[in-house]
Structure 1
Amino acid sequence: MAKLRVTLVKSLIGRKKDHIATANALGLKKIHKIVEHEGTPQIKGMLKKIDYLLKIEEI
């Protein structure tokens, strides 16, 4: 599995509640917060759901 570096680049204010919950579950609560996750199918599905809020890099 590849490691993914995920950065929140847009605000969560005014977004759908399930999109906010997905970002929080990934550990992204503030803009410019960076987290690293394994590239599992579950994580990739979460990232795809809110990809318009994120910057995703493969490590």
Structure 2
Amino acid sequence: MATAKKVAKPAKKAVAKKAVAVKATRKAHTGATFVVKQVRSQIGIMPKTKATMRALGLRKIGDVNTLPDRPEIRGMLARVPHLIEVSKKGA
């Protein structure tokens, strides 16, 4: 039986990568903010709820985080009212 010879593929040309300007995606928030404090344990809660707490920057009882007043933050706070205390600060 004859064996098939491997055909060498042409070498790929090196292409110079374009420099991409990095945009600042986070803007400084100057409006109202929420001060969020975790007051109850995360033991025994659903994984999705734990993920929400983590996204709010809360891990342990007594943790405090300041978050901007935006719709997505308000939605996360509405999911976990039984675990946190919220106070509004600013304008």
Normalising by structure 2, report the TM-score: 0.63
After TM superposition, the runs of 4+ consecutive aligned structure 1 residues lying more than 2 A away are none
**Corresponding residue for residue 25 of structure 2:** none
Larger Rg: 2
Q: Deviations over 1:30-54 (max 9, x none)?
A: 1000000001000000000001100
TM-score normalised per structure 1? 0.96
Name the amino acid aligned to 2:55. A
- Structure 2: gaps spanning 5 or more residues: 1-30
The percentage of counterpart residues that share the same residue type is: 34
Structure 1 counterpart of 2:85, one-letter code: K
Answer 1 or 2: higher relative contact order, Cα 8 Å, separation at least 6: 1
1:29 positional shift: 0.3
**RMSD of the TM alignment (CA)?**
0.7
Aligned to 1:54: 84
Tell me what 1:22 maps to.
52
Structure 1 portions without partners, runs of 5+ = none
Counterpart of 1:42?
Answer: 72
Please state whether the residue corresponding to 1:12 is helix, strand or coil.
Answer: coil
More strand by share: 1
The structural deviation recorded for 1:2 is 1.4
Query: Larger % of helix: which?
Result: 1
